[in-house]
């Protein structure tokens, strides 16, 4: 295993939110005392924990797919991949407001295509969220010739999907590629030859746990 790239413990996406929350708490405490400021300090703690982004040791196992997000496995099934029109194994990860919300590339390769779909904001734990909610999808052509699709899906509260890679970019497994604010979901569509290593209800960590393997 190797360390991922050096990064801040609080995600850059949260710097403004943390600064505003801490600043408001400090001002209220200065003007009115700590009892009045206590709820704002508690809010500041929540904001910091939401935007935390701890470094992860990336597994180097050959032909492995790593988890793109922290959360709970809510779907492991065989479905029709709506992006590249094939039968695929789908693994879905639900992120609640207490999970790390940075997203990581599951496999090394090249981004063949990126799709963005505006949509609704149903509870991300519902299956219809995969087809109806706002979402951003990446089609990755892997180094071993496989096709993997990873999809960021907005949730009931989430109103902001961030993705930092474009079509044609070469990406590395474990690389940080995006962020979703305030509860959401990530779907991964794999060729049926892949062997899934997780089960419904499992808790997983993005960039650290292995989602699936491609057998030799």
Active site residues: 184
CA atoms within 13 A on the CB side of 144: 15
- Compute the distance between CA of residue 199 and CA of residue 161 in angstroms, rounded to an integer: 26
* 198 burial via Cβ count (<10 Å: 0-12, 13-18, 19+): middle
Residue at token pair 């604010």: 181
Question: Strands 170-171, 184-190: parallel, antiparallel or unpaired by DSSP?
Answer: unpaired
Q: Note whether 202 and 76 are within 8 A (CB).
A: no
């Amino acid at each position: 295993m190797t360390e991922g790239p050096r990064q801040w413990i609080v995600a850059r996406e949260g710097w403004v939110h943390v600064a505003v929350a801490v600043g408001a708490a400090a001002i209220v405490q200065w003007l009115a005392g700590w009892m009045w400021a206590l709820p704002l300090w508690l809010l500041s703690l929540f904001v910091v924990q939401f935007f935390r982004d701890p470094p992860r040791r990336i597994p180097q196992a050959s032909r492995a797919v790593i988890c793109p997000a922290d959360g709970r496995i809510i779907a492991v099934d065989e479905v029709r991949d709506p992006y590249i029109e094939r039968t695929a194994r789908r693994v879905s990860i639900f992120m609640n407001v207490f999970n790390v919300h940075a997203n990581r590339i599951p496999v090394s390769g090249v981004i063949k295509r990126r799709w963005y779909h505006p949509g609704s904001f149903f509870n991300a734990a519902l299956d219809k969220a995969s087809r109806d909610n706002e979402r951003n999808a990446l089609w990755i052509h892997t180094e071993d010739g496989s096709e993997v699709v990873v999809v960021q899906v907005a949730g009931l509260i989430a109103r902001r999907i961030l993705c930092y890679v474009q079509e044609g970019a070469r990406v590395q497994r474990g690389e940080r590629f995006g962020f979703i604010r305030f509860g959401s979901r990530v779907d991964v569509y794999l060729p049926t030859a892949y062997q899934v290593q997780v089960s419904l209800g499992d808790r997983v960590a993005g960039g650290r746990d292995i989602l699936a393997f491609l057998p030799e």
